[in-house]
Structure 1
Amino acid sequence: MESEKPSTVNEPDVRYGYYSYADYLTWQMDEVVELIKGKVFKRAAAAPKRIHQRVSVKLASRLYVFLEGKKCQVYDAPFDVRFPKKSKEDRKIHDVVQPDICVICDPSKLDERGCIGAPDLIVEILSPGNNKVELQNKFELYEENGVKEYWVIHPEQQTFFIYTLIDSKYQPSHLLTSGDVVESVAVPGFVLDLEEFFGDIE
């Protein structure tokens, strides 16, 4: 049985510990807030480091140019991705995240509030605001909900990890860095030469 919560709140109260997308929509906060299995994850109010934003803008731009005229669409944060279980009702959705970048190839998953259902590709760019618990929970969330491909980028170390969904389980790549070439399975034909991509990022 769920704890009784206030009907309207300006921000989540960690004492209750289990929230829905309906609650999320009532919050007025400076921080980026995500829900994973009903639990609140807050990021710092301060903006990410410049290098984080440089990587994000550069990658999103390349995906946008590559996908122009195709049915797949790319979005960058802030952009809500909701993962419904048995119902798409706001009060029954307990997983809402804001990936740095995502690609959605099924237009029926898009509405005026973002994406409802699994994107084909999710990219998370690490920053000091990320924590290990959050990253582990997101890995499990994306795997359970069928996100075909999940990229984790460390901008300062200029490294990539790619998790590809095979038989409902993520298979990790080796650690990818300068000299490696990324080829997306979820976005066929999209190729990223990491030496060239990171060449002017510092």
Structure 2
Amino acid sequence: MSHKKSEKDKNVIKEYNLTYDDYASQDDGNRYELAGGKLELMSPSPSTTHQLVSSEIYEQIARSCKTDYYIFYAPIDVILSVQEVRQPDIALVSQKRMDILTNRGIEGAPDLVAEIISPSSLKRDKIDKLTTYAHFKIPEYWIVDPNLEALEQYILTKERYKLTNIFQDHEPITSPNIACISFSMKHVMGNIPRLD
């Protein structure tokens, strides 16, 4: 009996205990995240509204923070461990911490991550990523809901996130960790066309 693997067996993707190298070798045209050593297929391309909101938040943050922070938008690999690679919609890294930036992505905890929710990502963003980002000690996590035109701000407190504010309308968005942040959801949503 031969113990050699057939060509077919070599191409089978294992389903657990995957590493960054397994994740990085995927070239099937799909977008994945690596969650606890398992590949998670991301939903199809984000909606136009999602992309416009992401772009507008990026622009608003860049206006006041680009001299102090590197500001990234998806896709960017945030490599939290060998078995945990996420792609937040927006990530900020202080220029004083540029040692966590490599050609592979952000290798460590950013100062802030933001996710823009959609119906297909609701559970992942509000449960799974909330737990994961806290576990890897990301100090601040935003969940942006374009339908409610709201931004939920979570601050890491004793290894868990605490919902500290929900920003809507003209209320100025501020951060206890990132002093340069200064915009409102009205600034963001006011620049987004209503789409069917």
2: distance between equivalents of 1:191 and 1:116? Answer: 27
From 96, 99, 105, the equivalent of 2:88 is: 99
Partners of 1:8 and 1:26 within 8 A in 2: no
Match of 1:24 in 2: 23
Unaligned segments of structure 2, at least 5 residues: 1-7
Match of 2:127 in 1: 136
How many angstroms does 1:34 deviate by? 0.2
Partners of 1:100 and 1:124 within 8 A in 2: yes
Unaligned segments of structure 1, at least 5 residues: 1-5, 85-92
Q: TM-score, normalised by structure 2?
A: 0.85
1: distance between equivalents of 2:128 and 2:151? Answer: 19
Match of 1:182 in 2: 173
2: distance between equivalents of 1:128 and 1:31? Answer: 19
2: distance between equivalents of 1:24 and 1:161? Answer: 30
2: distance between equivalents of 1:197 and 1:166? Answer: 28
Structure label with greater radius of gyration: 2
> Does 2:111 correspond to 1:113?
no
Count of matched residue pairs: 184
1:150 to 1:8, Cα distance in 2 relative to 1, 3 A:
farther
How many angstroms does 1:12 deviate by? 4.1
1: distance between equivalents of 2:63 and 2:124? Answer: 34
Match of 2:57 in 1: 59
RMSD: 2.1
Partners of 2:167 and 2:184 within 8 A in 1: no
2: distance between equivalents of 1:77 and 1:8? Answer: 31
Partners of 1:163 and 1:171 within 8 A in 2: yes
1:134 to 1:55, Cα distance in 2 relative to 1, 3 A:
closer
1:192 to 1:173, Cα distance in 2 relative to 1, 3 A:
same
Match of 2:41 in 1: 42
How many angstroms does 1:61 deviate by? 1.6
Partners of 1:34 and 1:98 within 8 A in 2: yes
2: distance between equivalents of 1:8 and 1:38? Answer: 19
Partners of 1:102 and 1:122 within 8 A in 2: yes
How many angstroms does 1:174 deviate by? 4.0
CA offsets per residue over residues 2-49 of structure 1, 9 Å max, x none? xxxx9965x845xx333111111111132220011112211233x211
Percent of residue pairs bearing the same amino acid type: 25
Partners of 1:51 and 1:156 within 8 A in 2: no
**Which piece of structure 1 moves more, 180-189 or 159-168?**
180-189
CA offsets per residue over residues 95-146 of structure 1, 9 Å max, x none? 0011100001110100011100000000000123315146412111110111
Match of 2:144 in 1: 153
Partners of 1:102 and 1:120 within 8 A in 2: yes
2: distance between equivalents of 1:190 and 1:197? Answer: 13
Q: TM-score, normalised by structure 1?
A: 0.82
